[in-house]
Structure 1
Amino acid sequence: MKTHDVQSVAIARPHEAVFDYVADPKNLPKWTNAFKRADRETAELVTPNGAVPIRLETIAHSDQGTVDWKMTFPDGSVGAAYSRITPDGMDASIYSFVLMAPPVPLEALEGALAEQMGILAGELAELKAHLEA
């Protein structure tokens, strides 16, 4: 059973510009469906039952091109998201994102992951549009 998906998008912007945008958590609501609001320590995660306050830690390493997020939920559970910005010449980048399966019962896992894969594809297109505008 598949528990992850990796997607990427080519962005016609230099590596540094893409990294700076993705690494700033205040930009998450601009290109993701998951966040209503985000800053360096907290966020409001959008769920089917409304917004949920979480602790948000952005772990960014410009020299490695990685931007990861650690999300601590009100019940104490922890989730993570992993991404990387790779230079593609002087004025272009590739942004890749590792989508982990959401914490749902095993029987719902494949459907939940498939749904999230579609959402991620749209979010990567939104990120590209924001950065190339």
Structure 2
Amino acid sequence: MTEQQEDERYVLGAFDGLHVVEGEYYCQVCTLLKCASTDLQTCGQAATTAHTQFDSFALSGTFSTNYVFPEVLLSGVQLAPGEFQVLNDGRLISVKRTSQPVLTITLFGRWFESDPPRPYTHSRIH
């Protein structure tokens, strides 16, 4: 981190389980995220702006699926195209200093085989 702000806190997080917001699906997540305030109780709450810059970053995780998707969100909830890459070993790394302060750096693993069964809906064609 460069230009780290005293009033900002970042944490590392991991999740492996059934996600139940806006549907039910199984995912594995490895993330670096900005807390909504310096209070650790606000980590995971929505934050939309940041002021801390990163010269470089690297994030990796161990996933049980091959469906792993990277996401880097910058201040203002902006995507960061061209500012990171995923290496063959699965690490998400920065290509250069981020153009804006960082909100989140995340690897999302989507484990389709572990989703709960969907109710069968039979449709009749007339």
* TM-score bracket relative to the smaller structure: under 0.3
Greater fraction helix: 1
Q: TM-score, normalised by structure 1?
A: 0.26
Q: TM-score, normalised by structure 2?
A: 0.27
Greater fraction strand: 1
